[in-house]
Amino acid sequence: VTLFDGGRAPGGRASTREGRRGAWEHGARFVDVERERERERDDDDDDAADAWMRDRAREGAFVRWEGAVVALRGGRAVKKRLGARRTATPSFGAVAKALLEKVDLRASARVVGFDASDVDGAGVVVKYRSAAPDEGGETRSMSGFDVVVLADKNAANVADALGVEELARAMREVPSVPSLVLMVTLNRAPAIEFVGAEIENDDALSWISNESSKPSRRRDANCWVAHSTDAYARAKVNLDTRPGTREHDAWMDAVANEMSESLLRILREAEANADVDVDGAPLEITYARAHRWGAAFPAAVAAGAEKSKFLRATSTSPTGRVTTVYAVGDYCVEHDRFGGFRAAVASGLACAEDILATKSARSKL
């Protein structure tokens, strides 16, 4: 098994930004355990993804993230929200890496095309562009694959080269919602009693959380994240600028400034309302950086994936060699904003089971 991932490290939207100032989960924040328990009680709904999550929790990869999560209106906690949660430890990024220990992982390797004509008699050729320092951005290729799993709906553009138009169309037709995420450090810990909050009635922000309150993080790092509202992201996100360009950096800085203003106002209001003695300097942001997710949340389930939890098609080369192509990911399973991680796991597990079942059926022929 070879995994090509365009990102610097595996994890995708469940990954971690880490630096000398601290660590931020700028995508998936946590996994909702309350709903997992409900499904467990109702045997019919308890599925392979829940069992997988429980196994990883038993191994210590996921642990409880303690602390209150509230709904905040005008800086005032109006009700308690979201019960038991698990977060990856030490981080989502580290767990992804550990899970891939036995896989030939090619990070910073963006797949740019395929050749399914079986040119060298050794199956599909994957063409990828590596940003790894020793591979210099050239397009390279690797052959020998009988099964291709596309793990991002944005990979529909490369799926065309495999001759699986219907599958590519189903991927392409899933609409998605963008998101902007702010990562900051504060000059001190805010004197408040919650670790996360859904923000009500704010134009820019929908969620804030204290990343340094997660298990195995440095408490004194005071790292927080803030997530945009859909309306703010829709109004701001343009996909014209390329990361790494001056234009993109300027745009991201402007977004970071705006979101920082909202976050600081919300935290100061929450502190003022918390009825706790504030001991120290006024709360300030000491570092801020924004991240753009062009396609953060799928807004529908891919047509054809509703039951199977994946899409599958085959393509046959002129030499008669059959390649099976799968498309997997959170967009193949219905879920809400706190269930995307589990949806992606459910899709991946269902696909893996299908690959193994097909392989074993073939070997019996």
Applying CB under 6 A, the residues found at the interface with ligand FAD are 4-7, 12-14, 27-31, 110-111, 151-152, 154-155, 158, 179, 181, 227, 293, 296, 329-330, 338-344
- Closest approach of ligand FAD to the CB of residue 365, in Å: 32
- Closest approach of ligand FAD to the CB of residue 341, in Å: 3
Largest CA distance in the chain: 76
Residue 260 near residue 286, CB atoms below 8 Å? no
Residue closer to ligand FAD by CB (options 129, 266) is 129
Q: For residue 163, count other CB atoms closer than 10 A to its CB.
A: 18
Which residue reads 């189903």 in tokens? 170
3-state SS class at 206? strand
**Can you list the alpha helix ranges (DSSP code H) found in the chain?**
33-41, 48-59, 92-99, 156-159, 165-172, 230-236, 246-273, 340-364
Residue closer to ligand FAD by CB (options 312, 342) is 342
Residue closer to ligand FAD by CB (options 130, 212) is 130
**Can you list the alpha helix ranges (DSSP code H) found in 7-140?**
33-41, 48-59, 92-99
- Closest approach of ligand FAD to the CB of residue 166, in Å: 20
Residue 190 near residue 282, CB atoms below 8 Å? no
Strand partners, 233: none
Residue closer to ligand FAD by CB (options 4, 194) is 4
3-state SS class at 315? strand
- Closest approach of ligand FAD to the CB of residue 154, in Å: 5
Residue closer to ligand FAD by CB (options 7, 273) is 7
- Closest approach of ligand FAD to the CB of residue 362, in Å: 27
Q: Find how far residue 215's CA is from the centre of its chain.
A: 20
Residue closer to ligand FAD by CB (options 85, 283) is 85
- Closest approach of ligand FAD to the CB of residue 333, in Å: 9
Q: Rounded to whole angstroms, how far apart are CA atoms 147 and 145?
A: 6
Residue closer to ligand FAD by CB (options 139, 316) is 139
- Closest approach of ligand FAD to the CB of residue 261, in Å: 20
Residue 2 near residue 100, CB atoms below 8 Å? no
As a whole number of Å, the CA-based R_g of the chain is 22
